[in-house]
Amino acid sequence: MSLITTFTRAWLTRSFKPFLFKNDYDKSLPFRDCEKLGLYVHIPFCKSVCTFCPYCKTVYNPKQCDRYIDALVKEIHKVGSQCEHKKETTSLYFGGGTPALIADRIDEIIEAINEHFIITEGIGVELHPDNVNVETLKKLKAAGVTKISIGIQSFLEKYQTILGRKKVDAQKLKEALSAVEFETVSMDLIFALPDQTYEDIKADVDTAFTSGANHVAIYPFIDFSFTKSKVKAMPKKQKKKLLDQITDYFNQKGYHRSSIWTFSNKKEAKYSSMTRDNFLGFGCSATSLLKAQFKINTFSVDEYCNRLDSDELPTSLTIRFSPRQRMVYYLFWTLYSMQLDERKFEEFFGVPLKKMYGIDFWLAQKLGFLTKENGIYSVTKKGAFYYHYYEQFYTLSYIDKMWGIMRKEAFPERIEF
């Protein structure tokens, strides 16, 4: 594990107690009193598997996929029925994998969700560029989808080749997106690829917006140890210069920055499944974050289905947070949205932010990572880069290790960080 993440964990939790994930779980999940609850559904199937992609996925098989959707609906009803009344939630997001492969059954999943939850901020679905056609978009819109996110990665042929992706036809994208409109059309672009220049990123961003996007997400490339990708991440200084240049470009264009990685040409265009105080996840590898715990489902599609066929939850690992550990998780993902309201922290934890982390936030301001006005901390351009930089250490120290183990073991006994 990186010394940076080890030191940060010990400093912010004021303890050397590790983050401990164990093979146990609550049969009744304590989400009834959770405010600002989000929902996530994972669809692990893809027509082909990209070498650089770290997410839980498997090659599409129609019979296995139908069995999985049946199990997924069972999980939704099993968890949702634990609340005696419909629970208000902020949003529902479908990720993958390639959720469009189940477009013919997505209304069935949404119907199951609607039996137990009230969605107030819309439904989002991730799409592969190949699935952006009028027929598929109409099916999604008819099912209630209001937001889509398209995994472009890059429009440039040299990076499509590096990433093992097919050429993206920007004109066809534009035609399909013009025919079927959505509240948010986001496009994912990968940042910090080998020898990538400002002009490369700028070209991708401009093509995204002219092709129909009103929102883009620029994710840093991370070299996961368990993927087959041979692509290497960009050095720190080069990455910082590139991120500063593209951030300045967004500012010049008058675009709105809604999180560390996302920008939009309309302030109301938003797409993020992670910036929630609490969320429930359904499907293999899906996670659930509640007030005092975090749990993750098995990565095995077959074992996921077997658990639900036995009328059991597919939980693989659970961590039961200490108060400080939960605060660290809250701070990390809240600052991802570029702002932190100290009043909301106090509402959530029942204790002032200043009492728990006064010196830390004072130091962050002195170092130029944050500014503060009227009780709201805002992440600076410098702070955004170091969030990027730290997130890489966090990912390789925690997520890489956990996902690497869970890809091999459906139900490991424990994982300690």
pLDDT of residue 100: 95
pLDDT of residue 39: 97
For residues 264 and 250, what is the distance between their CA atoms, to the nearest angstrom?
9
pLDDT of residue 229: 77
Segment (H or E) for 370: strand 370-373
Q: Nearest-CA neighbor of 296 among 45, 3, 24, 2?
A: 24
* Segments of the chain scoring below 70 in pLDDT: 1-2, 274
Structure tokens at 233: 């991440």
CA distances from 58 to 43, 124, 285 (A): 10, 21, 12
pLDDT of residue 2: 65
pLDDT of residue 191: 87
Structure tokens at 285: 């590898």
pLDDT of residue 224: 77
pLDDT of residue 282: 98
CB 304 within 8 A of CB 298: yes
pLDDT of residue 417: 85
Task: Give the DSSP letter string of 121-161.
Answer: S-EEEEE-GGG-SHHHHHHHHHTT--EEEEEEE-SSHHHHH
For residues 223 and 198, what is the distance between their CA atoms, to the nearest angstrom?
21
Structure tokens at 93: 């997001």
For residues 103 and 253, what is the distance between their CA atoms, to the nearest angstrom?
36
Give pTM, 2 decimals: 0.94
Query: Between 1.10.3720.10, 3.40.50.2300, 3.40.50.2000, 1.10.10.920, what CATH number should domain 1-17+322-411 receive?
Result: 1.10.10.920
34-264: CATH class: alpha beta
| Sequence spans of domains, the chain | 1-17+322-411, 34-264
For residues 243 and 202, what is the distance between their CA atoms, to the nearest angstrom?
11
CA distances from 133 to 48, 156, 174, 214 (A): 19, 21, 10, 18
Task: Give the DSSP letter string of 299-334.
Answer: S-HHHHHHHHHTT---EEEEEE--HHHHHHHHHHHH
